[in-house]
Amino acid sequence: MNIPAELKYTKDHEWAKVDGNLVTVGITDYAQGELGDVVFVEMPEIGSEVAKEDAFGTIEAVKAVADLFSPVSGEVVEINEALEDAPETINSDPYGAGWIIKVKVADTADLDDLMDAAAYEQHIA
């Protein structure tokens, strides 16, 4: 199970990569494995607001559909448009090319209660 040390994690299996006030969001390797083949990703519009712990989109996989929950509050400044044609990238590279949205956060304190890699590993154990 791949759980990169430099990322933060939610209990709903999203990861957050923090770069100043820009946070990239995706789903974890564990989550993509549980969902199986991803066939569609429904993403919010650029410029829309997302709220911490609220659903911002959905992932449709062969076996199940899952809501995507935002680890932070802020404005969506970029979405991964490549997922529209190649949603399976989430399965093959969940922490890299399979990223989903980038959010400009209002308050970086939002990140404080996210799990680190060790805590997330415990969470899925």
Interacting residues toward other proteins by CB under 8 A: 33, 36-37, 39-40, 42, 58, 60, 62-63, 65, 88, 91
Provide the residue type at 4 as one letter. P
Q: CB 35 → other proteins: shortest distance, Å?
A: 11
At its nearest, how many Å lie between other proteins and the CB of residue 110?
27
Beta strands in 1-125 (DSSP E): 8-9, 14-19, 22-27, 38-42, 49-50, 55-61, 65-69, 74-79, 101-105
Nearer to other proteins, 22 or 55 (CB): 55
Query: Which is nearer to other proteins, 40 or 96 (by Cβ)?
Result: 40
CB of 54 to other proteins, least distance (A): 15
For residue 15, list its beta bridge partners: 9, 26
Q: How far apart are CA 50 and CA 29, in angstroms?
A: 23
